[in-house]
Amino acid sequence: MEREALHVLYDAIEARARSASDGRDWPCRRGCDGCCRRLGEAPSLTRAEWQAVWRGHLALPPAVRAEIRNKVERLGAAPVECPFLDTSDGACRVYAHRPAACRSYGFYRGRAHDAFCTIVEAALPALEAAGDPIVFGNQDALEDELARRFGPRVGIADWFAAHPEGEVSADGR
Ligand code: SF4
Ligand code: SF4
């Protein structure tokens, strides 16, 4: 049930992103990894999001999983490079399973407007000139909805500590 609810939410984020970017030369693309290299904090997700990410993680080759786990164990202070980023090509290793924040970033804005991609920000005048006004998603409302539906967030170090390699699926599901 949670899994379906999460995908409904992900589909809504994707629809919002598509409606903003369709017909515009939106800068988000594979290999543009600035957002993944400079996280404001170590990833911290609801359990439902972790279960999705974990399905992607467990599908990776063992050596890659070991590399990711090693990065998690060495995470330092912000800005944080996401352990799931493949730094050789700037791509996300769990892209199809990535969490809500990775799907909304660049297309949603918070009330404080203090965590918004500087590349998108710089491109906005040209993007806005390319069509109707852009309707951004509301990041605060999205985070409220995640918390309401899926509960508190779990930090990446705690998630990895609780899930040793070799598990068949997240939380036995
Ligand atoms: S949010 Fe910014 S850094 Fe991330 S893919 Fe889009 S343009 Fe690139
Ligand atoms: S999970 Fe993937 S998309 Fe999200 S920050 Fe990490 S590398 Fe980037």
65: left (phi over 0), alpha (psi -120 to 50) or beta: alpha
Residue 170 pLDDT > 80, yes or no? no
Average pLDDT along the chain? 92
Q: What angle, 0 to 180 degrees and rounded to 10, lies between the N-to-C axes of helices 62-73 and 47-58? A: 140
Sequence spans of domains, the chain: 2-165
Instruction: Report how far ligand 2's centroid is from the alpha carbon of 39 (Å).
Output: 9
Cβ pair 61, 11 in contact under 8 A? no
The secondary structure element, H or E, covering residue 145 is helix 139-150
Residue pair 105/117 in contact by the 8 Å Cβ criterion: yes
**Residue 35 CA to ligand 2 centre (angstroms):** 8
Residue to substitute in 50, 102, 103, 159 for testing ligand 2 pocket (most ligand atoms within 8 angstroms of CB)? 102
Q: Residue 172 pLDDT more than 60? A: no
**108-109 and 137-138 as β-strands: parallel, antiparallel, unpaired?**
parallel
| CA–centroid distance, residue 132 to ligand 1 (Å) | 21
pLDDT class of 166 with cuts at 50, 70, 90: low
pLDDT digit string, tens, across residues 120-131: 999 999 999 987
Ligand 2 centroid – CA 34 distance (Å): 10
Look at residue 173 in the predicted model and tell me its pLDDT: 39
Q: Which ligand is nearest to the CA of 116?
A: 1
pLDDT confidence of residue 167: 57
pLDDT digits (tens, 9 = 90+) for 14-66: 999 999 999 999 999 999 999 999 999 999 999 999 999 999 999 999 999 99
> Residues 6 or more apart from 53 whose CB is under 8 A from it?
45, 84, 94, 97, 98, 99
